[in-house]
Amino acid sequence: MKWFEMGARGHHGYPQPEDDYLEATYSEVCLRCGIRSHQRSPFRARPFRKAANSHFLQLNWEFDAFFVTQEVVDVLSASGLTGFSFGSVLDYKSGLVMAERQQLIISARIDCVETSMLPTVTCRANNEEAKYTLPGPKRYPEDAPYCGRVKHHPPTSIAILPSAHLDDAPDIIQSAEWFGSGGSAFNLTMCSEAFVDLVRTNKWRGLLFEPIALSGNSIRAK
């Protein structure tokens, strides 16, 4: 079976409220590195008017959350593919459920990405990125604790661990491994060839697919 990394062609808008959306949306968030536990509340956002023609999109800062149109919800629900459900997105100003978008919720997290050649980022003082000045605001107080967990810089090409048996995996999964830099952390999203075929058959817009190697090493090109 062939597997593909799944990403969005464009990011539109920001999760709300911008300063503390992580705490409003997720449980057990480390504000220093961005690693967190499960999603506990719907995303809040402003209407996606500028992306009306995209069937799939993402918000800025959020690389593992996808938002889809009602057409996608209807077709995927009847497709027989597995590994996902759908959740509401709330209009930030009104608090009401958005009619035009739902979140594609991906349920499975699997230890599967080979990371031995990828740079690490440890959540601790004077870590591997300490010599760099990282862009973006700091969304935590100076005395915020470090969680000690490790993420990797995202690969430009992904290889799967030999121990990861994906033949019986759902059609959409996310890595249990974390990736990112600075205060950003996310899981990689991967999908089966059947999911890719369905997207292409329906001519849905907004996604990019990159083939995944089933052996070898993940690589980050310089």
Give the number of domains in the chain. Answer: 1
Asked whether the predicted pLDDT for residue 134 surpasses 80, the reply is no
* 222 domain-assigned: no
* 218 domain-assigned: no
**Could you tell me the pTM of the whole model?**
0.93
Cβ neighbours of residue 192 closer than 8 Å, sequence gap 6 or more: 1, 2, 3, 4, 81, 169, 171, 172
* 188 domain-assigned: yes
Average pLDDT over residues 190-214: 98
Share of the chain above pLDDT 90, in %: 86
* 57 domain-assigned: yes
Q: Residue 107: what pLDDT?
A: 95
* 103 domain-assigned: yes
* 217 domain-assigned: no
Question: Residue 146 is part of which domain span?
Answer: 3-211
